Structure 1
Amino acid sequence: MTESLDRTRLAAWRAYIEASQRLFTQLEDDLRADSELSFADYHVLVLLSEAPGQRLRMGDLASRLVFSPSRLTYQISSMQKRGLVARQPCPDDRRGSEAVLTAAGLLTLREAAPHHLKSVRTHLMDDLDDAEVACLTRVFERLGRRLRAGRDASTAPGDSDS
Structure 2
Amino acid sequence: MALDDSELAAWHDFLQITATINRRIEQQLKQDAGLTHPQYEVLSRLSEAPDACLRMTELAQAAVTSKSGLTYQVTQLEKAGFVARRDSPGDDRGVVAYLTEKGWAKLKTAAPGHAELVRHLFREGLTDKEFDGFATAMAAMHRHLGS
Name the TM-score class by shorter chain.
over 0.9
- Where do 1:116-155 residues align within 5 Å? 116-148=114-146
Structure with more of its chain in strand, by fraction = 2
1:17 aligned partner: 15
Residue 146 of structure 1, CA deviation? 2.7
Deviations 1:73-108 (Å, cap 9, x if unpaired)?
Answer: 111111100001001111131210011011111110
State the aligned residue count: 147
CA root-mean-square deviation: 1.2
Q: Aligned AA for 2:56?
A: M
Aligned partners of 1:136 and 1:92: how far apart in 2?
Answer: 43
Give the unaligned 5+ runs of structure 2: none
Deviations 1:28-60 (Å, cap 9, x if unpaired)?
Answer: 111111111111111111110010010011011
Residue 123 of structure 1, CA deviation? 2.3
Greater RCO, 1 or 2 (C-alpha within 8 Å, sep 6+): 1
- Where do 1:1-162 residues align within 5 Å? 3-148=1-146
Aligned partners of 2:145 and 2:72: how far apart in 1?
Answer: 24
* Matched position secondary structure for 1:128: coil
TM-score by length of 1: 0.86
Residue 27 of structure 1, CA deviation? 1.4
Q: Aligned AA for 1:127?
A: G
Aligned partners of 1:132 and 1:45: how far apart in 2?
Answer: 31
Deviations 1:1-52 (Å, cap 9, x if unpaired)?
Answer: xx10100110000011011101110111111111111111111111100100
1:156 aligned partner: none
Aligned partners of 2:113 and 2:142: how far apart in 1?
Answer: 27
* Matched position secondary structure for 1:126: coil
